[in-house]
Amino acid sequence: MAKSRIEHDSMGEVRVPAEALWGAQTQRAVDNFPISGLKMPRGFIRALGLIKATAAEVNAELGLLDGAVAQAIVAASLEVAAGRHDAQFPIDIFQTGSGTSSNMNANEVIAHLAGSVLDVAVHPNDQVNLGQSSNDTIPAAIHVAATLAVREDLLPACKQLAKQIERKAKALRGVTKTGRTHLMDAMPLRFDQELGAWASQIRDGSARIKAVLPRLQRLAQGGTAVGTGINAHPKFAAKFAKRLAKRCAVAFVPAPNLFTAMATQDTAVELSGQLKTLAVSLTKIANDLRWMNSGPLAGLGEIRLPALQPGSSIMPGKVNPVIPEAVAMVCAKVIGNDTTITIAGQSGSFQLNVMLPLIAHDLLQSIGLLANAARLLGDKAIAGFEVDEARIAESLSRNPILVTALNAVIGYEKGAAIAKQAYREKRPLLEVALEQTGLSEDELRALLDPASLTEGGIKGPGGAGG
């Protein structure tokens, strides 16, 4: 058998692996919850470390914790925040709904590290967890972790993607293509107009997420067990938020209502909803790319995405749109996570939500997935795709829907008849219109010029294009 040691807690003795930094309560959770193998995310562990370090500093400042002990706790907590001890956080996400097991995991690891430095015992509850409970620490950790992930990872990735789309749009401004509604040929537009809509989606998604941040930066810390602040110094919450704000360069503040911050996860649900909206936008862009790249012979074939890997184990030469496909799968996962977070958000009874670890895991996973997907979509799809201008021009020249531009001159019904004849006889629209209208070839070419049609307005006598 592997070497072990005996640890104890209020329920008695527990055998713990000799090399483990955790204690009895963590081990009980490891034994009790062998469910998924999924562990709490790196960002969440980072947030716990930052919270424990900040709490120790505030408690020392308030005269509640010995200075040397506080200093050792701070140092150990910052090691945890930096990721030096992630292997010491083995608890499954499917655990006690308050996240008490993960909170005690942090308390025990930090106590062990601090005690090793001081060469005296540091108590995980009485000293590391002083002025805190799982019921305010875990909600605060969710908010801290999500705030940092959004600010440091997701928003920069979205900003870069929007810039890449806009750069590509600018480069393609002179290329006019067939528009499509209902997947059917429609009036023309320019590539920069089509891609500009994508960039706008991403910028709007970022703005929606930014709008959640002021609420996400409100922290439950200081509410302790039920929101009354029991066992925390009256000044703890304000001092804690101010010190953590300085440490993270983020405007963290105490929640204006600690009962709300602990009993609900409404802000996490709100953020998840905005992440879902961004996922919907990315799905749309990914699918547009897939359609435009389809072929190369029997599909639209408007663009060629970068060839990144063989597309088939049996069909030589086949290359698939792997990045848009991966992005679409990410978005499906994020949308699924939003459903999970919504259900979990409903699971608050009276003073506490009891699905906090699940919310933490899925929320941070969604943020990370979207950030990675946005970067990949920009770097490996948007930046490098090429346009088949000859194919686009050929399709555009045969598009009978251009007859729409003649509505002001010949009327809708006459236009419909010309379009149907052009479809039926597979003839150029210009040729049929020349036969069926009294307009000269020069007049028709001017009215049906695809590039001019992308500017809008009424074409014909009295109109902008007349």
User: Does residue 272 surpass a pLDDT of 90?
Assistant: yes
pLDDT band at 398 (very low <50, low <70, confident <90, very high): confident
**CB-based contact 124:52 (threshold 8 Å):** no
Question: Apex CA 200: angle with CA 198 and CA 204, to 5°?
Answer: 120
Q: What is the pLDDT averaged over residues 143-153?
A: 98
Q: Is 272 one of the annotated active-site residues of the chain? A: no
pLDDT of residue 465: 41
Could you tell me the pTM of the whole model?
Answer: 0.95
Please, what is the average pLDDT of the chain? 96
- Give the tens place of pLDDT for each residue, 156-198: 999 999 999 999 999 999 999 999 999 999 999 999 999 999 9
User: Does residue 460 surpass a pLDDT of 90?
Assistant: no
pLDDT of residue 459: 61
Cβ within 8 Å of residue 354, ≥6 positions away = 97, 98, 347, 348
User: Does residue 461 surpass a pLDDT of 70?
Assistant: no
User: Does residue 466 surpass a pLDDT of 50?
Assistant: no
pLDDT of residue 161: 98
Catalytic residue among 36, 312, 349, 440: 312
Q: What gap in Å lies between CA 454 and CA 133, rounded to an integer? A: 61
Q: What is the pLDDT averaged over residues 445-458?
A: 88
Catalytic residue among 182, 281, 294, 440: 182
User: Does residue 456 surpass a pLDDT of 90?
Assistant: no
User: Residues of the chain with pLDDT > 70: what percent?
Assistant: 98
pLDDT of residue 428: 87
Q: Is 233 one of the annotated active-site residues of the chain? A: no
- Give the tens place of pLDDT for each residue, 329-349: 999 999 999 999 999 999 989
pLDDT band at 80 (very low <50, low <70, confident <90, very high): very high
pLDDT of residue 397: 86
User: Does residue 452 surpass a pLDDT of 60?
Assistant: yes
User: Does residue 408 surpass a pLDDT of 80?
Assistant: yes
